Amino acid sequence: MKPIGVVSFGEIDGMVLKAIAAHILGYLRIDTEIFSPLEYPGYAYDPRRLQYDAGAILKAFESLPVQSYAKVIGVLDADLFVPILTYVFGEARQGGKCAVVSLYRLKNNPDGSKASSPLFLERAAKVALHELGHLLNLTHCEDERCLMHFSGGIRDLDTAPPYFCRYCSVYLHDGLASL
């Protein structure tokens, strides 16, 4: 089976990519490979919203030559939006090839304090696993104790466990088997 690629757009803390890759390997038992950074997606900047268009980044990402990977997770520091939401932690097309994860909103706690490094890395890994779930064909789950539950804010994300419910796990393994 081809590995899951993990890559940054521009420069980010290398620890984050390692944490994401380790969580994917540890949780899903599939090989991961970190590859050299992609160009920062300046083209996706929306000067009206002062944010980056997640859909535009995904579209460009999906057109890159990443055939050597089963799925690819791209990580960046920029604040992402989709038209209907104020911001998103990540974005992926259900059953797609590539997902993006934004670190921008993961660095601070709801009270404005800075998140500890382990908490920040755990959040990044959770968002990455959630988006990988979408790439493996999963939709959002109603169970709050499931990683596929929709996280509208950092509190939701911190409440979500770093694993999938039994129901989603079944679908996840179907998705993995079809890779």
Q: According to the binding rule CB under 5 A, does residue 165 interact with Zn ion?
A: yes
Work out how close the CB of 134 gets to Zn ion at its nearest, in angstroms, rounded to a whole number: 6
3-state secondary structure of 77: coil
The secondary structure of residue 152, as a DSSP letter, is -
- Asked if residues 92 and 58 have their Cβ atoms less than 8 Å apart, the reply is yes
- Encode burial over 40-53: b for 16+ CB neighbours within 10 A, e otherwise: bbeebeeeeeebbb
Q: How far apart are CA 155 and CA 140, in angstroms?
A: 17
Number of residues that bind Zn ion (CB under 5 A): 6
Interface map 59-98 toward Zn ion (x if CB under 5 A) = ----------------------------------------
Work out how close the CB of 11 gets to Zn ion at its nearest, in angstroms, rounded to a whole number: 26
User: Which is nearer to Zn ion, 91 or 122 (by Cβ)?
Assistant: 91
3-state secondary structure of 138: coil
Residues 95-154 within binding reach of Zn ion (CB under 5 A): 141, 143, 146, 148
User: Which is nearer to Zn ion, 34 or 176 (by Cβ)?
Assistant: 176
Decide if 33 is catalytic. Answer: no
3-state secondary structure of 24: helix
Q: Which residues bind Zn ion (CB under 5 A)?
A: 141, 143, 146, 148, 165, 168
Q: Any idea which residues carry the catalytic annotation?
A: 131
